[in-house]
Amino acid sequence: MKTETTFWAPRAWLPGGWREAVLLEVDGLGRWQLVQPDTPAPDGVVRLAGPVLPGLVNAHSHAFQRAFAGLAERRESEGDDFWSWRDRMYRVAGAVDPAMLRAIAAQLYSELLRGGYTQVCEFHYVQHQPGGQPYPERHTMIQALIEAAGDVGIGLTVLPVLYERAGFSQPTLRPDQARFHLGADEVWAAAQAVQAQAHARLNAGVAIHSLRAAAPESIHRLQALAEGFSGAIHIHVAEQPAEVRDCLAATGLRPVEWLAEQGLLDARWQLVHATHVNRAEIMAVAHCGSTAVICPSTEANLGDGLTDIPAWLKAGVPLAIGSDSHVTRAWREELRWLDYGQRLSLKCRNVAAAPEAGQPATAERLWQSALTGGASACGEALWGIHPGARADLLVVDLGDASLAGIPPSRLLDALVFSSPGRPWRDVMVAGDWVVRDHHHRGNTERQGRFEAAMQQLWVDTP
């Protein structure tokens, strides 16, 4: 329950960077009504316990895959890659039921909150019963996600997924993909059903699994249905070299090239992974105003490869981040590996920094890009600590060992590049405190339900 509406922070990250002595006021809709820096603390105001940052959007999530984290790290045959991982992941996708999904998602969303995310974009394709029969209540699995997010207090963007074929030359789904099937009109109906429940922490977008999984006419049909829709449109694209080769064979064009050539891309489009792209495709994305959603920990775990971060940044394309398969669940690690991957590849440091453009701090440049990209990814016109944006914030615990002795001007650098730690003392979502003094109410019960779901899924694992 919202009992406090006015706060004072000793420091806050506002558009443009750190500001001192910031007075904050939340309106009745859970949005910032007043953000006023350089203001002495009024009598009786709630003084926050440390510097504050806006919460970050997790722009790409498959919640059910939290039940698979750490369980695909053995190789029993000569080779192991994305495709063999996917086949093993389908075991979870084929077994999870609504109660399990709610328990798994609640555990995940609690972990994401404590990792500094206050909104998560759920790229949701496990729709039906095993075997492909719809549930009596058609959106049962979506509702399980909504209830999990409500229990935890995190913001949620639900993205029902267009998914109708197994590949460019395979017009139907494999048996182990049957419960994923959703056509364009069904995706739109699901998104509308979510939007009918919309509140301060819930909204909807739409998604296309990938070009290999959706026929061109279906993609155009969904685009037509979404004409005038302000929500985000997400798609997995160019994650694997094999996908690029298959797209070239089927269409004569590379995946991002095909999307641009078809006139589909605009500011609503979120290109998830966008790993194997060339400079021309990056410039096409920049021209259309779309966002790239990068998931460094998952892309590393799956051996996807590295996208060209310097080229994306130079082109001015926002880079949202996501935790995807949830092998890690904190944005500090995702941002760190966004640059570390480039350092390993290019054999130099601070790749994302741009001193020639007045941006010498790697963490700050990545952070600002993720803030901008995250807003687009979750369907919010505004994001951050400024009037009209949702009232989300993270209170930094300066007593955390990873931040000990850090000069105030380098706090964001240390948050990204010094770890491990537990830096978020308090977390607010839409004006409500959901984490206080590192404590998230219901954790013990939530973890118990998660462990029970895991036992069901993995009972016969040696």
Which active-site residues does the annotation give? 273, 324
H or E stretch at 348: none
Whether 253 contacts 231, CB under 8 Å: no
Locate tokens 């589909």: which residue?
A: 264
Locate tokens 């991957």: which residue?
A: 341
CA distances 24 to 18, 51, 154, Å, are 14, 13, 21
Give the count of beta carbons closer than 10 Å to the beta carbon of residue 307: 25
**90 burial level (CB within 10 Å; 0-12, 13-18, 19+):** middle
The amino acid present at 39, given as its one-letter code, is T
Contacts of 352 (CB under 8 A, 6+ apart): 309, 310, 313, 338, 339, 342, 362, 365, 366
Whether 387 contacts 33, CB under 8 Å: yes
Contacts of 128 (CB under 8 A, 6+ apart): 134, 135, 141, 178, 179, 180, 181
103: its two tokens:
């328990």
CA distances 27 to 31, 127, 200, 234, Å, are 6, 36, 12, 31
Q: What distance in Å separates the CA atoms of residue 105 and residue 95, rounded to the nearest whole number?
A: 15
Whether 62 contacts 54, CB under 8 Å: no
For 403-428, give the secondary structure using H, E and C.
HCCCCHHHHHHHHHHCCCCCCEEEEE
